[in-house]
Amino acid sequence: MALSQALFDAIVDGKAQLAQSLVEEELEAGADPLALVSATMIPAMDEVGKLFHEEEYFVPELLLSARAMKAAMTPLRPLLAAKGAKPAGVVVAGAVKGDLHDIGKNLVTSMLEGAGFQVIDLGADVTPESFVAAIREHRPQIVCLSALLTVTMESMRTTIAAIKAADLRREVKVLVGGAPLSERYATEIGADGYGATASDAVALARRCVGLSN
């Protein structure tokens, strides 16, 4: 699908209401929900990141764009979730301690729900102790950790260590993702899988519960 320039601009300019109504219009015109996210909305957030990096944007602009992205996701979330089939497994997900970036994690959880997983979303800035408590309570097969900052990648290692110390490591598969991560880092911290996109998260999760992709 081609980029929708108006939607792209609305997210980059931080216009939440406009972004949401443009998504609604695109959907009415028959746009594919996933294509809207991957061809326009994620590239728009990448552009925001670039502007921030170049010091044209500062935190207030980031926040406005993040708000626009969230508003744009509102009509899409139920559609992404409706795409899936049978219940496939239980997932506990969260952005790790110190990390407030939750847009990518929200996309991962929506897609997992769409693929039939029951997702317990712990939100952002989740401590290792909260992950451990949620594993004890919900007994998931999979734990998804998300990090967007190089400084919070270390929280993933600490979280995996805490799961191990609580003697729960053998019960769950740990999947990690987020822009600064790599396959190599995932292996180094003892994760079971790394995914670069929300679609990868679904493919990995399906594999973890023995479903073919």
| Measured CA distances, 176 to 52, 86, 124, 188 (Å) | 25, 24, 14, 12
Under rule CB under 6 A, residue 170 binds ligand B12: no
Q: Is the dihedral of CA 183, 138, 130, 65 positive or negative?
A: positive
Nearest distance from C-beta of residue 85 to ligand B12, angstroms = 20
The minimum distance between CB 30 and ligand B12, in angstroms, equals 23
Amino acid at 211: L
Output 47 or 171, the one with its CB closest to ligand B12: 47
Half-sphere exposure of 80 (CA within 13 A, CB side): 24
Amino acid, single-letter form, for residue 5: Q
d(CA 76, CA 78): 6
Among 150, 182, 183, 188, indicate the residue that binds ligand B12 (CB under 6 A). 150
DSSP bridge pairs for 35: none
Q: Does 48 bind ligand B12 (CB under 6 A)?
A: yes
Q: Which is nearer to ligand B12, 49 or 84 (CB)?
A: 49
Q: For residues 201 and 154, what is the distance between their CA atoms, to the nearest angstrom?
A: 20
**Would you say 52 or 185 has its CB closer to ligand B12?**
52
Minimum gap (Å) between residue 76 Cβ and ligand B12: 12
CB of 166 to ligand B12, least distance (A): 20
Please, what is the minimum distance in Å from the beta carbon of residue 157 to ligand B12?
15
| 112 within 8 A of 91, measured Cβ to Cβ | yes
Residues 11-40 that bind ligand B12 (CB under 6 A): none
Closer to ligand B12 by Cβ: residue 108 or 115? 108
What's the CA gap between 7 and 57, in Å, rounded?
A: 19
Q: Which residue has the tokens 């190599």?
A: 184
The CA-CA-CA angle for residues 79, 82, 86, to 5°, reads: 160
Q: Does 109 bind ligand B12 (CB under 6 A)?
A: no
**Residue 175 within binding range of ligand B12, rule CB under 6 A:** yes
Binding site for ligand B12 (CB under 6 A): 42, 45-46, 48-49, 52-53, 59, 62-63, 66, 98-105, 107-108, 144, 146, 148-150, 175-180, 195, 197-198, 200-201
